[in-house]
Structure 1
Amino acid sequence: MEDIALKEKKFNKLINIVSIAVPVVVALLFGVRLPNVEPLSFLPPIYASINGLTAVLLIVAVVAIKNGKRALHQNLMTTCIVLSLLFLLMYVAYHMTSDSTPYGGEGVLRYVYFFILVSHILLSIVIIPLVLRTYAKAYLKQFEKHRKLAKITFPIWLYVAITGVVVYWMISPYYQ
């Protein structure tokens, strides 16, 4: 029992570091422009598709575990984490080579867009420690704690994945 507590403490320390470092590094890299690098303007539809695929796989993973398919659930959730990491890398690469695209919509749609964008960004920061802690609980075979935390993590992660696609759809007419 003490071995699990020690492992959990180590995981939590690492999770705290990653949960702080990722948003800080992303924010810092947002201000960096790579000179003499061709803009990676082909990336937004790819990383939006990755968000969409993540949303689908999250739902399939929940169905899998509800049907007792633990190995499939684990593989799907690991895939979702990898996809989220790929999204993040592409997103940062795009913004290091391209200027941000301003939203050109007007009226109510403008407010809707900014509400979705801001909630997406804030929850994408919140989801980092939630995903990592939920994954760690399963890794440590603390399945009851995993289940309880997953009930919080899943809807937030699903919202972030879906709103990533919605933000892309809403801003895509304004890409140059």
Structure 2
Amino acid sequence: MSDSKQILNEKKYNKLIVVLSVVIPIVVAALFGIKIPNVEPLSFLPPIYATINGLTAVILVLAFIAIKNKKIVLHENLMTTAIWCSALFLIMYVAYHMTSDSTKFGGEGAVKYIYYFILLTHIALSIAVIPFVLITYVRAITNNIEKHKKIAKITFPLWLYVAVTGVIVYIMISPYY
């Protein structure tokens, strides 16, 4: 595919990437403030969505190994699965917070500061990683492999950090549910 055709293919996705990168965090933040009355709290969801975060981390590592071993189709399938896992996580996370009060962390001393550092970096990077994931994915599906590789080197560690710290945050706060 020519460079100009790749650029045109990417450009048709750019507006969608910008919209999703802005709308997703805003909608999630807005939904956090909405509590659905008279609905049974979905208190069973946190261990499920934490497991999905862990599964996402494993899938990302497997996808990395697959591409290093030139297993392109396996890599593509794993990355698509990782995106679906992240979307499923987000749906469950929002559903939980729309039906349940936020759990307060009860740890004290240094562990409290460690928890909040991990939580705040997790939240900030979970917002920042959205456009990276989308751009990386678009560059792959438009066959702009050189640019895909360049941004994937940034996207992979960010996304992996978000997935792993999501599990760590859950483990640290789970005694206080």
TM-score band by shorter chain is over 0.9
Q: How does 1:22-33 map to 2 (within 5 A)?
A: 22-33=24-35
Q: CA deviation at 1:8?
A: 1.1
Q: State the one-letter code of the partner of 2:135.
A: R
3-state secondary structure, aligned to 1:60: helix
1:66 is aligned to 68
3-state secondary structure, aligned to 2:93: helix
Q: State the one-letter code of the partner of 2:75.
A: H
Q: CA deviation at 1:6?
A: 2.2
Question: Are positions 1:90 and 2:98 aligned together?
Answer: no
Q: How does 1:112-127 map to 2 (within 5 A)?
A: 112-127=114-129
Mapped to 2, the partners of 1:147 and 1:154 lie a distance apart of 10
RMSD: 0.7
Q: CA deviation at 1:86?
A: 0.2
**Which of 97, 101, 104 is residue 102 of structure 1 equivalent to?**
104
Question: Are positions 1:144 and 2:149 aligned together?
Answer: no
> Normalising by the residue count of structure 2, what TM-score does the alignment of the two structures yield?
0.97
Listed as ranges, the gaps of 5+ residues in structure 2 are: none
1:49 is aligned to 51
Mapped to 1, the partners of 2:171 and 2:148 lie a distance apart of 33
Q: CA deviation at 1:3?
A: 3.5
3-state secondary structure, aligned to 1:36: coil
Alpha carbons 2:6, 2:143 under 8 Å: kept: no
Mapped to 1, the partners of 2:6 and 2:71 lie a distance apart of 25
1:161 is aligned to 163
1:172 is aligned to 174
Q: CA deviation at 1:118?
A: 0.2
Mapped to 2, the partners of 1:125 and 1:40 lie a distance apart of 24
Count the aligned residue pairs: 175
> Normalising by the residue count of structure 1, what TM-score does the alignment of the two structures yield?
0.98
2:136 is aligned to 134
3-state secondary structure, aligned to 2:41: coil
1:15 is aligned to 17
Mapped to 1, the partners of 2:6 and 2:145 lie a distance apart of 13
Listed as ranges, the gaps of 5+ residues in structure 1 are: none
Q: State the one-letter code of the partner of 1:30.
A: F
Mapped to 1, the partners of 2:43 and 2:159 lie a distance apart of 26
Q: State the one-letter code of the partner of 2:38.
A: N
Mapped to 2, the partners of 1:3 and 1:158 lie a distance apart of 31
Alpha carbons 2:17, 2:131 under 8 Å: kept: yes
Mapped to 2, the partners of 1:119 and 1:17 lie a distance apart of 23
